[in-house]
Amino acid sequence: MALLASSVIAADYGHLHTQTNDALEAGANWLHLDVMDGQFVPNLTIGPGLVQAMRPIADTHDAWLDVHLMIDDPGRFVDTFAQAGADVCTVHVEACTHLHRVVQQIQQAGMKAGVALNPGTPLSALDAVLPLVDLVLVMSVNPGFSGQQFIPQSTPRIQTLRRQLNALGSDAFLQVDGGVKPANAKRLIQAGADVLVAGSAIFGGSASISDNIAAFRSALTLKA
């Protein structure tokens, strides 16, 4: 069963409570929160205060808060986001000098540890931590902004990582983020992804949030 994580970066922040609640009511499983520092990526977004504000909404729907740290030296803030209520904390290989240590730090703080890879980073960068992580995030766009087009070369990367995780007997989630739409959702699940992150395809366009999520559900069977 695939999981759908609604990416809050694409929501209307003036109606954030309503829109995130609507997404979970319509059947999204997680709230995906992109934290950007203007250094690691060319954008500034949210901090731990918004994660804390999302915690009661997530609790109401028995949903996870999936925090994606697109920031330099993310180990500085792991404990802060744990205290804010994150269930999953994902850091970038490219941003961590001591990746193994940060993965351990996340897990010791009581969160699931995720590691993300940018499109230009070889999969071998994960070799040392792949047996340890709870989630692997394949970025299928260059990080920083919502609404970008899916990079087709991401699909074979997902397939390779699925084989590697299976060979390890790992139950880690394999997540894909960037340009995910109903039109490519089934293909990504068939490639081996089990968590799809969607932002503009849920919160954007002229259709309602519930209709957008229904479009994903018509493309494949998603866990409610």
Cite the annotated binding site for substrate by residue number: 7, 68, 144-147, 177-179, 199-200
Please indicate whether residue 34 is annotated as part of the active site.
yes
Contact in structure between 40 and 77 (CB atoms under 8 Å): no
Q: Examine the residue annotation and report whether 177 is marked as an active-site residue of this protein.
A: yes
Burial of 151 (0-12, 13-18, 19+ CB in 10 A): middle
Q: Which two tokens stand for residue 139?
A: 């970025």
List of residues 6+ apart from 46 with CB closer than 8 A = 8, 33, 34, 35
Annotated binding site for a divalent metal cation: 32, 34, 68, 177
Alpha-carbon Rg for the chain in angstroms: 16
Catalytically annotated residue among 34, 66, 134, 194: 34
Those residues whose C-beta lies under 8 Å from the C-beta of residue 202, and which sit 6 or more positions away, are 6, 7, 10, 23, 28, 209, 212, 213, 216
**C-alpha pair distances (Å), 100 with each of 75, 112, 131:** 11, 14, 11
Question: Of residues 37, 66, 177, 194, which has the active-site annotation?
Answer: 177
Q: Which residues are catalytic?
A: 34, 177
